[in-house]
Structure 1
Amino acid sequence: MTTPPFDPPTAADIATVSAQLGRPARNVLGISARCVCGAPTVVATAPRLDDGTPFPTLYYLSHPAATAAMSDLEATQVMPEYQAMLADDAEVKAAYVAAHEQYIADREGIAVVDEIAGISAGGMPVRVKCLHALAAHALSAGPGVNPIGDLALARGDWSPLVCECIDYSLT
C-alpha cells in the first residue's frame, strides 16, 4: 500500500490542531493541507482510531475560519443546489464519483478497514451531505479533483490564499 502524500505532523502541528479543535487531536497521520502561513488546515486521520473505531473521514477540516465558512455556507441551504447539479450534470456527477473513488484509494493506501469499505465522506458519491468534508478533500487533493468541494471553497467566505490564523501560542 502507498500512503497519500502529506506532511507528517510535528509536535507543533498537533498542538495547533488541538487548539483549533478545542480538544486533543487524535490519530493524526499527517497534515494534508496548510494555510499560506504554514499552519494546519486539514489533517489526515487514521482510518482506524487507537480505540479500534473505524473512522472513514481521512481528510478532516481543522482550520477554524475554514470550518466556520463551510458552516455558514451550509446554512445558506446551498446543498440542495449542489445535489441538483449531481442529478442534472453528467460531467459533475462523473467527477464526483471519481473523487469518491480517489478518496477511498487514498484511505486504503494507509489501511483497509472492512467496516468502512466503499464509504468515503461528505455524502460521496451520490449525495452532498457535509461541505466541511468535501472542502477538506478538495484542499488536500488539489483543484479539479472534487467538484463540489471546489465549488464550496469558491463560494464560501474563506480563502486558502488568505491567512486568518490565530496565534495559538498566545492563548
Structure 2
Amino acid sequence: MTTPPYPPVSDADLAVLREQLGRPARGVVGIAARCVCGNPTVVATSPRLPDGTPFPTFYYLTHPAATAAMSVLEAEHVMRELSDELAVDEDVAAAYRRAHEAYLRDRAEFGEVDEIAGISAGGMPTRVKCLHALAGHALAAGPGVNPIGDRALAMSSWSPERCVCAQPGSGG
C-alpha cells in the first residue's frame, strides 16, 4: 500500500458529513472532492468498514444537492439512455472499462477485500446502474476519467463550480 493521496480528515469535515448524510460517516479515508466552498462533496471510503462489512463504493457522493440531482436523472430514466450509448459506442465502452480499472486501483491503495475483488461501482464496466457512484468517481478522478459520470454531471442541474451549501435543504 502506498501513501494515501488525501490529507487527514478533519473533525470539521466529519461534522459536515454527518449533517449531509444524517448519520455519522463510516470508514472515511479521505475527502476525494470538495465543493468550491471547501465542504466535502465525495468521500473516499475504506473497502472494509470498521464493522468488517465489505464496501465496494470507494467514492461516495455526499453533497445533498449533487445526490438530489443524480436522483432526478435516475427518476428521468437517464440511465437507460446512457446504457444505450455505452452499448453502441466502442470508444465510450473502452473508456468506461478504463474507468472501472482506475477505480479498482484507487480503492486497492486502501486494501484488498476478497469479497469485492473485481467489483467497482455504478455498474462498471459493462452497465450503468448508479449515477451517484459514477458522478462521485468523476468528481474525485477529474474530467475525462469516467465518461458516464462526466455525462451524468453535465446533464444534471447541479454544478461542482457553484456552491449551494448554504441554501436550505442542501445540507450546508
Distance 2:139 2:6 in 1: 12
Matched to 2:162, the amino acid is V
Secondary structure of the equivalent of 2:102? helix
RMSD (CA atoms): 1.7
1:11 aligns with 2:1: no
Distance 1:3 1:86 in 2: 34
Matched to 1:130, the amino acid is C
Secondary structure of the equivalent of 1:135? helix
1:108 aligns with 2:89: no
Given the two structures, how large is their TM-score scaled by the length of structure 2? 0.95
Partner of 1:66: 66
Partner of 2:123: 123
Partner of 1:57: 57
Counterparts of residues 10-29 of structure 1 (less than 5 Å): 10-29=10-29
**Fraction of identical pairs, as percent:** 68
Counterparts of residues 24-103 of structure 1 (less than 5 Å): 24-103=24-103
Shift of 1:26: 1.2
Distance 1:74 1:90 in 2: 23
Secondary structure of the equivalent of 1:42? strand
Partner of 1:145: 145
Shift of 1:166: 3.1
Shift of 1:14: 0.4
Q: Deviations over 1:122-166 (max 9, x none)?
A: 000001000000000000000000000000000001000000103
Matched to 1:65, the amino acid is A
Distance 1:23 1:162 in 2: 25
Distance 1:8 1:166 in 2: 24
Matched to 1:17, the amino acid is L
Shift of 1:27: 1.1
Secondary structure of the equivalent of 1:118? coil
Secondary structure of the equivalent of 1:41? strand
Question: How many residues align structurally?
Answer: 170
Given the two structures, how large is their TM-score scaled by the length of structure 1? 0.95
Shift of 1:167: 8.0
Distance 2:93 2:2 in 1: 27
For structure 1, which runs of at least 5 residues remain unmatched after alignment?
none
